[in-house]
Amino acid sequence: MRQACCFIALFALSAAPLAAEGIADQFKWNFQARVRGEMRQNVYDFDSSRSAVTDDAFDLRLASIEIGDPKHFSLKLGRQVLSYGDERLVGPLEWLNFSRTFDAVKLHYQALSWWIDAFTSSVVRLHESEFNRSDWLGNGEARQQFFSGLYFSSQFLPFQATDLYAFHLHEESFTGGTDFMTLGTRQKGDPAKLAGWDYTVELVGQTGQINGHPLSAYANHLEGGYNWLKSAWKPRLALEYSSGSGDSDPNDGRVQTFQNLFPTNHPPYGLMDTFSWQNMHNLVLRLAAQPHPKVKTTLDFHSFWLTTTGDAWYRANGSTRVRNINPNANSHAGCELDFTVHAMLTQHLDMLFGYSHFFAAAYLADTGASDDADFAYLMLTLNY
């Protein structure tokens, strides 16, 4: 049995750019610190890969300096959030108690119909009762992680956003070096310019090496929906399909499991966080509506399969395996029903209620216990 009581406070200071003629004379800085206190009994040891319930009394979340004009040309240095596209590969993962940040240097250029980011970074790791730091600040590990990238987004086609990106991840380990590229494209349609229709197409490929072994992997996401823009409830009905490659033969010296990088996996693949964008097929039917201007409801139904049962079922963190590998198991993992209500109670207080049910399928029965599961939560957010 577990009991917990916690509070989260966020402090921020900021200053607008100084009026000046040249970019070099413009200066902006911001500072954020998250204070978190907890009382708990019989909780996990500090290990964010096992649970969102972790211990860390105080940490510096954001602290950066930005030189230049963020709406045109700027350079940002320090601890910051990186977020691109639908955050399927790079995002802050705000759902966790400790959201993801990076120690990074980022160059941003923005024109009228397009923008581009160039960055190099290292993800901040959590350390119990110590200052949270990345490899840049001496993490005490031999990993020496560098995560770098280029992200280009344009409105050259006025009815859609067209994105191109390239990410590179470098890590060192005793079992061999990791160096691989992630190349992708994303197109997202604007329903306001397509008579209510919308779509998203994202195609990704990876090549390089993982722990000294050659990597070749892929992932994709296809989505189409219709929005009743003139209806008072503004309903949206959509169908989605996502898949990520898996490794059918872990003993052949080649890696074919898609590497999910640093994503926000909570919204796209079910609110119970059972899957990441690797070794999976996910078919989703989504329905959303606004019965009141300050209330939004969603109802999603997912069905999950493993791409290959020769590889693992990976949870949302991309590392935890649900079961031991059984190549002879059925590939259908299960279905999930998600229902949420998001309401703005006051100008400064939001409420989010959610309920989910997971329907266990043949894969679970073939590999062990196969009970269904339920998940419910109520969250209040104070905005100030």
**What ranges do the domains of the chain cover?**
73-382
- pLDDT tens digits, 94-138: 877 778 999 999 999 999 999 999 999 999 988 776 778 888 876
Q: What is the pLDDT of residue 56?
A: 55
Residues β-bridged to residue 162? 154, 187
Predicted confidence at residue 382, as pLDDT, reads 86
In the prediction, which pLDDT does 142 show? 61
Pair 76, 106: CB distance under 8 Å: yes
- Residue 14 contacts by C-beta under 8 Å, 6 or more apart in sequence? 28, 29, 30, 31
Residues in the chain predicted with pLDDT less than 50, given as ranges, are 1-26, 30-53
pLDDT at 140: 57
Summarize pLDDT for 251-278 with one digit per residue, the tens: 899 999 999 999 999 889 999 999 999 9
- pLDDT of the residue at 58: 65
Quote the pLDDT of residue 266: 87
**Do 125 and 79 form a contact (C-beta atoms < 8 A)?**
no
Instruction: Report the distance separating Cα 74 and Cα 204, nearest Å.
Output: 28
Residues 6+ apart with CB under 8 A from 207: 180, 181, 183, 215, 216
For residue 25, what pLDDT is reported?
47
Q: What pTM was estimated for this model as a whole?
A: 0.85
Assign 241 to helix, strand or coil.
Answer: strand
Please tell me the distance from the alpha carbon of residue 321 to that of residue 147, in angstroms, as a whole number. Answer: 24
Residue 3, burial from CB neighbour count under 10 angstroms (0-12, 13-18, 19+)? exposed
Topology adopted by domain 73-382: Porin (2.40.160)
The whole-number pLDDT of residue 289 equals: 98
pLDDT at site 137: 72
Indicate the DSSP class of residue 311.
Answer: S
Q: Tell me, what's the pLDDT at 165?
A: 98
How, if at all, do strands 114-123 and 213-227 pair?
A: unpaired
Instruction: Find the length of the chain.
Output: 384
* pLDDT recorded at residue 60: 79
pLDDT given at position 27: 52
